[in-house]
Amino acid sequence: MSQVAANRIAGKPREDAYPSRQATEAQVLPRLDDVVHGSWTPDAPLSKEDTQSFEQDGFLVLRDIFDAGEVETLCSAAARLRGAGQSALEPETLISEPGSGHVRSVFRIHEQDRTFARLAADARLAEVARFLLNDDIYIHQSRMNYKPGFRGKEFYWHSDFETWHVEDGMPRMRALSMTVLLTENTPHNGPLMLLPGSHRHYVTCIGETPDNHYRSSLKQQEYGVPDDESLAWLAAEGGIAAPTGPAGTVIIFDCNTMHGSASNITPLPRSNAFIVYNAVSNRLEAPFGPATPRPEFIASRMHVAPVQPVTGPLMRSAA
């Protein structure tokens, strides 16, 4: 069934606040949703300045929230997952680099490793997500991205929300990612780059999504790729940020912030964990693009139990 047909139920067009991959030309549409869904009070888990900065830029860096022992625990968990291989992990969740067999990503880390399960529920992250999204939250997606030294490949510019809306059926912009750096991110080893202010604009993409697009897109994206002109405009408006920092640094970014990262030709590997929180009220519906939704390991449709924030240190050792 074509995308247009799939979005007509009994002949009526389905309401789509953020249509994409439907027209022959890219457009820049306004954001219809709040960025900070909660109202700031002195009890909020973020300072007023940090809240305003997230609202304005579409991202925020949290430094020194984990102690050295916690960072070590997280780094060992990342190494363990990477070495675990197909037999210990759900095979589908292991994504290799195009061309080489190197591990590029491992998905659903919060269900495959208890350190990452604990991290995803940690109050230092989860309470911030609950505040910014102003709702109970659940984990829409989690993953480790490994970008090895010398030959680590890039992630081209994209808005996560564009893909989550079209391919997964996330209705509105009420989700965010938290990335926890698990190696130092320097200006040189392919750090995450973000376009400040881009979260206020929805850049539509062209080209109808083929079935099972995720099988190739997780290695290299072909649809859901923004056009050069819109990217150039966003970068001219707000510049390009590439926050750096040691392992343990956390970057929070809105679901619609345009981001990407360059390849890594330095000898220094770059590994980041990502946890995506979505508001329970913004649960997935039928995709707005292809008829068949992507599998659960990449987009939670059934596993939507609210995260119960856990306070206190992350455990020191994990099996």
CB of 273 to Fe ion, least distance (A): 13
Q: Which is nearer to ligand 6CS, 198 or 217 (CB)?
A: 217
Q: Are 298 and 140 in contact (CB under 8 A)?
A: no
Binding site residues, ligand 6CS, CB under 6 A: 141, 143, 155, 158, 160, 163, 217, 221, 298
Residue 252: contacted member of ligand 6CS, Fe ion, none (CB under 5 to 8 Å, by partner type): none
Q: Which is nearer to ligand 6CS, 22 or 93 (CB)?
A: 93
CB of 75 to ligand 6CS, least distance (A): 21
Residue 197, both tokens? 């202010």
Residue nearest to Fe ion according to CB distances in the complex: 160
Q: Which is nearer to Fe ion, 73 or 217 (CB)?
A: 217
x/- letters, 242..281, toward Fe ion (CB under 5 A): ----------------------------------------
One of 97, 160, 162, 168 touching Fe ion (CB under 5 A): 160
Stretch that binds Fe ion, among 55-63, 96-104, 152-160, 276-284 (CB under 5 A): 152-160
What does the CA dihedral 118, 295, 31, 11 come to, rounded to 10 degrees? -150
Residue 163: contacted member of ligand 6CS, Fe ion, none (CB under 5 to 8 Å, by partner type): ligand 6CS
- The values of phi and psi at residue 28, to 5°, are -110, 110
Alpha carbon 162 to chain centroid, angstroms: 11
Residue 109: contacted member of ligand 6CS, Fe ion, none (CB under 5 to 8 Å, by partner type): none
Q: Which is nearer to ligand 6CS, 104 or 124 (CB)?
A: 104
Q: Which is nearer to ligand 6CS, 60 or 175 (CB)?
A: 175
Work out the angle at residue 85's Cα, subtended by the Cα atoms of residues 270 and 308, and round it to the nearest 5 degrees: 70
Residue 234, both tokens? 């966003």
Residue 62, both tokens? 């949290």
Q: Are 309 and 123 in contact (CB under 8 A)?
A: yes
Q: Which is nearer to Fe ion, 33 or 160 (CB)?
A: 160
Nearest partner of 279 among 129, 165, 86, 117, judged by Cα: 129
Nearest partner of 18 among 168, 158, 171, 133, judged by Cα: 171
H/E stretch holding 254: strand 250-254
- Beta bridge partners, 52, equal none
Interface residues with Fe ion (CB under 5 A) are: 160
